[in-house]
Structure 1
Amino acid sequence: MNSSLSILYRGPLASCNYDCPCCPFAKRRDPPADLRSDRASLERFAAWVAERTDLRLSVLFTPWGEALVRSWYRRTLAELSWLPHVERVAIQTNLSARTTWLADADPSTLALWCTFHPGQISLERFLVKCRELDGGGIRYSVGVVGFPEHLDLARELRQKLPENVYLWVNAAEGRVYSDDEAQVWAELDPLFPYSRNPHPSAGKACRTGESVISVDGDGTIRRCHFVPEVIGNLYDGSLEQTLTARECPKTMCDCHIGYVHLESLPLYDAFAGGVLERIPATLTSALVSRQLPLHVVR
């Protein structure tokens, strides 16, 4: 068994304080019983992480909704960040929650994957939050979805963010970008070509299921969020037998948290030291160059 393991954790939490168009979790509220279940699941998972001192662990929380508005997520991230065998703990967030809790976390371990949602928060208010992260020495990336109506705001965001903060752009789901359109977004995110089109993945080697796994609130293990097959459970003692090299069974992989782990793509080199939080090793390296072709060779 590999002594290093990355876990993408997604508990039952399915509520969000934003009402983004087309999002099934927009302004959804979890009833109290569901929130109690989510909290209990998270505490069980955190206890498991704390006990597995034989592993070098990295954890990315990928909630359906917004988790940092919940005190138990803020507390858990801060506590896990101080564990010596935890190399990285990160979370996807809209950055709407208060940031004072970050003072309790280890900034050398904790990181945030932040998404700017035009129409939900003003650009200036979002930038205030980013400056708070800067002041606390927190590693973070910032991103937007590549909707043409958000292009001007995305450009302004890039201009006003510190140069060392990576701005990523996700291709809008189902949208086909012309070369001219893709070039515009690639000027903001040199790695946009990897997001532009789905990646053929059937039969290709992928790190998921071996050194990366997806875990839900019950401890059910899947190789990733996008392959429904259950391969084990975190709490039944079968982890060592679960992890093995696997080829991808899907025809295409179109989400960054999936295709970043494909061995056929150079993204582990591009994001060395920042795979989970989506922070490139350097914004000036050859792999993160504005000379990257608009059509990624697969």
Structure 2
Amino acid sequence: MHLTMLYRGPLASCDYDCAYCPFAKRRDSTQQLRADRAALQRFTGWVGENTSDELSVLFTPWGEGLVRSWYREAMVSLSRMPHVRRVAIQTNLSCRLTWIADCDLDTVAFWVTYHPTQVTQDRFLSKCAELTRLGARFSVGMVGVPENLTGARDLREALPDSIYLWVNAADGHSYTDEQAAEWQAVDPLFHYSRHAHVSKGQPCRTGDTVISVLGDGTVRRCHFVPQTIGNLYDDSFRAALKPRPCPLSTCDCHIGYVHLEPTGLYDVFTGGVLERIPTSPGAQQRTLLPLIEG
């Protein structure tokens, strides 16, 4: 079987201090970092041993993972496992990038977020250029707060057409049609993010072919549904895997609603669901409205 795993360990520290993020400039203690490292190494070991499954992994840390050596090591190791189809991570790209040359570039990928208050656009673009030079797959995105609009336009102009620039609707922020149109001009898929998707009772791949894994091995159907369905390390989660509808009223995060079947986003992002890369640059021009929205 093919199983997609969204892994989130104890790490909750970040080197950036974005105003819209609760983990800005948070520091983990030495003990917390050791626990995170041990948890990630245990998870990587489990993936390495479970060769009967085809696996894909997306790291979604609360903080910035790639400034920690053990996340870089895990990306290299997992990318070189024959039964791993994709390993990707959400990152601000503030780390050094030379290690990526050690990865299997057909397997590794990056979901990169640009934070204009934390890094100059020139420096960020130089990092993107280095990813391109290395031959790495990646998407780039921003949070759609009003003060980011000019920077988003500039970034879209500066990036190659082949690089998808996504925009996340800001938490707690509503958009007039005129404002939404401005963001839509930057990211033709912005309408999927603008509204929370009405999800209750709708078929979703989470809990069936997609699961969320915490550092201690706790398995949930997704990051946003708190009920436990088993544990990775005693294999108890397998008996719980089955198609099931979403129990929540709405889903407003891309890493959740991308798996919600009525959105049709698996067709938009075929081959690039975890790293948020559309099937082709032309796929960005699709103007399908979300099938369900609030």
TM-score (norm 1): 0.96
Q: Which among 177, 180, 197 is matched to residue 178 of structure 2?
A: 180
Name the SS of the counterpart of 2:208 in structure 1: coil
Q: Which residue of 2 aligns with 1:144?
A: 142
Distance apart, 1:148 and its partner CA: 1.3
Amino acid at match of 2:183: W
Distance apart, 1:22 and its partner CA: 3.5
User: What is the distance in 2 between the residues matched to 1:40 and 1:158?
Assistant: 39
| Residues 263, 291 of structure 2: 8 Å contact kept | no
Distance apart, 1:290 and its partner CA: 5.3
Moved over 4 A (4+): none
- What pairs with 1:86-97 in structure 2 (closer than 5 Å)? 86-97=84-95
| Residues 186, 290 of structure 1: 8 Å contact kept | no
Relative distance call for 1:98 and 1:87 in structure 2 (3 A) is same
Distance apart, 1:162 and its partner CA: 1.1
Q: Are residues 1:256 and 2:254 paired?
A: yes
How many pairs were matched up? 292
- What pairs with 1:266-277 in structure 2 (closer than 5 Å)? 266-277=264-275
- What pairs with 1:1-298 in structure 2 (closer than 5 Å)? 3-285=1-283, 288-289=284-285, 291-293=287-289, 296-298=290-292
Name the SS of the counterpart of 1:284 in structure 2: helix
User: What is the distance in 2 between the residues matched to 1:218 and 1:11?
Assistant: 8
CA deviation string 1:103-135 (max 9, x = no partner)? 110111000000000110000000000000000
Amino acid at match of 1:111: A
User: What is the distance in 1 between the residues matched to 2:282 and 2:44?
Assistant: 36
User: What is the distance in 1 between the residues matched to 2:259 and 2:20?
Assistant: 27
Amino acid at match of 2:231: N
User: What is the distance in 1 between the residues matched to 2:240 and 2:135?
Assistant: 37
User: What is the distance in 1 between the residues matched to 2:188 and 2:286?
Assistant: 5
Name the SS of the counterpart of 1:95 in structure 2: coil
CA deviation string 1:118-177 (max 9, x = no partner)? 110000000000000000000000000111111111111001111100000000111111
User: What is the distance in 2 between the residues matched to 1:290 and 1:273?
Assistant: 17
CA deviation string 1:207-249 (max 9, x = no partner)? 0000000000000000000000000000012232021111100
Relative distance call for 1:223 and 1:133 in structure 2 (3 A) is same
| Residues 203, 248 of structure 1: 8 Å contact kept | yes
User: What is the distance in 1 between the residues matched to 2:136 and 2:20?
Assistant: 31
User: What is the distance in 1 between the residues matched to 2:261 and 2:221?
Assistant: 15
CA deviation string 1:15-72 (max 9, x = no partner)? 0000111422111110000000000000000000001100110000000000000000
User: What is the distance in 1 between the residues matched to 2:46 and 2:100?
Assistant: 22
User: What is the distance in 1 between the residues matched to 2:64 and 2:190?
Assistant: 25
User: Which structure 1 residue ranges, 5 or more long, are not aligned?
Assistant: none
Query: How big is the alpha-carbon RMSD for the aligned residues of Structure 1 and Structure 2?
Result: 0.9
Point out the more displaced range, 192-201 or 239-248. 239-248
User: Which structure 2 residue ranges, 5 or more long, are not aligned?
Assistant: none
Amino acid at match of 1:230: T
